[in-house]
Structure formats: C-alpha cells, structure tokens
Structure 1
C-alpha cells in the first residue's frame, strides 16, 4: 500500500514544530527532514566525510561531529557553497526518506507528514500529495523569534528577511493552519486536519481558496 505523503512546512517561530507534535500525539506519523539531514552527516558516515572533503575539517566540532553552526555560517551568504552542501546531503536524505516510507507502508500507515522547513525553497511541493503551511502573523513571529533566541528586533527581522515570507507560503498552500491564538488551539486544528485528510482532502484546485484551520 502506498503511503500518502503530506508536506508540512512553515517558517521560523511559526509553531510548525508544535503542530507536528500535536499530529504525533494523535498517532499520525511525522518524518522530520532535519533529523534525516543530521543522520546523513552523522559521525563516521560517508556524508560527513564528503562534507569535510568539500569544506575542510574546520566544520567539525571537538567531538568529531559536524558543527551545524559553523556549517551554517559557511553557507548562509554563499549560494555556491550552499549548493555544494545540498548536493552532498540531499541524495542521502531522499534515500533515508524512501526507507522510512517503506517502513510505514509495511506497517499499514495510510498517510504520513513530511516536516520540511524549506519545502518550497527545495522544490519538494512536487514530491508530496499536498502541502500544509503553519502560518502566524509576522508581528507574532517576530516577537516569538526574538524571545526564543534572545535576539534584538533588528536581528529577528534580519532572520525573517532571509526566509520566504509566511504569507507567500500560505498563498501557495493546499491547506493553512493559522497559529494566531492560544497554543492549546493547535490540538483541535490538528484533529480537524487529520479528519479532513482521512475524508479525502487533497491538493486544492487552481484559483480555489485553501481551507484554513
């Protein structure tokens, strides 16, 4: 049996991870792309050896693992470097994802969410059945980000400026989860979304409005 793959994305401090946790609490499988990316460059892996070959041993921490902060600093403002890193990591991530889907199919799971922060940026909307975007107002997003990471407002604004705006992602989505109220409300929204998916919710038609939760 094929597993329906539902893309789940959002933006920094949008509440996507909290919503993913609510989906898991309801028994829905959620595959975390960030976890797959970490596994792709785990200590001793061929992926990590390739990263060191491309960027040098200075991207390693004292424990021999990839220092993600150093790596991020190397590629943040260098598109060519970022492309080299993605060429190393992405094929392994895709292979790990296929392996996880096979495991879920063998277990009889009808659907799974693929939690990908940069889903649209990576062009992965073509590889999932539909895309769910967790959206929050920009001002709320700024406040959450500044409080969470101890940033000044200008620093938080710079972080957001480096990402595709949430409003733009929501405009492209097949379904939008509005995280603009109490965090506890996300549990009910997760339940309603799952119910609709099990009832046949699929990719929205062109020019049709995406359902909002």
Structure 2
C-alpha cells in the first residue's frame, strides 16, 4: 500500500486535484471534509469554537460562519493556534486512523489531502508528497471569487501559511495549476500512471 500526501497553499487547487483523483477511482482522505463534518451545526466541536471565539462566528441559524472565523483567526497567531488545538488535532487523529487502516491492505494507492500536511506532521504518514501550486495572483483571484472576500483577506491567509518554497522543497512532486484545466489533468494522468 502506497500513501501519497497532497498539499498546497490556499487557492492552489488541491480540491480540484483530489476530486479528479477520486473520480479516477482512488481513495482520497480529505482533511477539509473531515473538518466540515466535525463543525456541523449542533456539533460539540462547534459549541467549543463558539465558546472560544464568541457567538459572532455562528450564522443566525447556528451554523459556522467560515468567513468570519477565518477573519478572526488568520489575523492573530494565538487565535489560530487555539483553533488548531480545537479542530486540527481532531482532524489529524482521524486522518491518522484512516491512513493506518489502509496500511494493512496488501496493495494499492491512497491519497491524503491535507492542507496543513507539513505543519501537523501528517507528512510522516506518507510515502510521497505531491505539492499543488499556482501563481500567487491566480490563487488570490480564485479565493476572492470563491469566498467573496478582499484581496487583503487572502494575503493575510497566505502570510499565515508555511512559505511555498519550503513546501515545494519538501515535496517529491510539484503540480503547477497555473495553466488551465487541460494542462492540470494531463499532469495528473501522467503522475497517476507512474504511481501504479
């Protein structure tokens, strides 16, 4: 069994890469999806977040307002660390359990889509790491369109992440997602063929 980690900065296209890999029939453990399930409306983790950061992080119907939460935590390293203690540690536990379960299988490849792969030491679960990147302006435009936030909001989030150069230097494969979908999928097809 081979475990490949997928990571990259905000707006780079990790979700697009993972979605395509999943569509090709591979198992993908998605840390963001796990995080969303842990913070569903009414969950104990959501109550813990509201206690830590205030009721303003909730929408009027009691769901997590991800944009408000991001604005609070990414501007303050101490609050970001608190958020990570509440959510990230739990997500990592689940990712680790799933990765260890896959290790018992005799063959195949599974992918771990973990945005904080290096920061959480989840890279230690992997046999190989694929780093997804794109030009910074492309990333900023994608996040602004997706999350309806300002350029400054995106730059704060980029600045709070591990530098791209460090992630790139620690990865076996660099996937450039700057040149459009056709080019991206061609890169992925070649990499998947090599990984089997």
User: Shorter-chain TM-score category?
Assistant: 0.7 to 0.9
3-state SS, counterpart of residue 184 of structure 1 = helix
**Bigger helix share:** 2
* 1:182 paired residue among 180, 183, 187: 180
Divergent runs of 4+, >4 A? 98-109, 142-159
Cα distance change, pair 131–86 in 1 and its aligned pair in 2 (3 A):
same
Q: Hey, what does 1:65 align to over in structure 2?
A: 63
Aligned residues: 196
CA–CA distance in structure 1, aligned partners of residues 134 and 95 of structure 2: 28
In 1, are the aligned partners of 2:74 and 2:157 still within 8 Å (CA)? Answer: no
The structure number with the bigger radius of gyration is 1
Q: Hey, what does 2:170 align to over in structure 1?
A: 172
CA–CA distance in structure 2, aligned partners of residues 98 and 158 of structure 1: 29
Q: Hey, what does 2:11 align to over in structure 1?
A: 13
CA-CA distance at 1:197 after TM superposition: 1.8
TM-score, reference length from structure 1: 0.75
TM-score, reference length from structure 2: 0.80
Q: Hey, what does 1:43 align to over in structure 2?
A: 41
Q: Hey, what does 1:29 align to over in structure 2?
A: 27
CA–CA distance in structure 2, aligned partners of residues 141 and 154 of structure 1: 13
In 1, are the aligned partners of 2:26 and 2:111 still within 8 Å (CA)? Answer: yes
* 2:118 paired residue among 117, 120, 124: 120
Give RMSD over aligned pairs. 2.9
CA–CA distance in structure 2, aligned partners of residues 84 and 156 of structure 1: 20
Q: Give 5+ residue unaligned stretches, structure 2.
A: none
1:84-116, CA deviations, whole angstroms, 9 ceiling, x for partnerless residues? Answer: 221121332134334544776789872211112
CA–CA distance in structure 1, aligned partners of residues 65 and 145 of structure 2: 24
- After TM superposition, the structure 1 stretch with the greater mean CA deviation from structure 2, 61-70 or 141-150, is 141-150
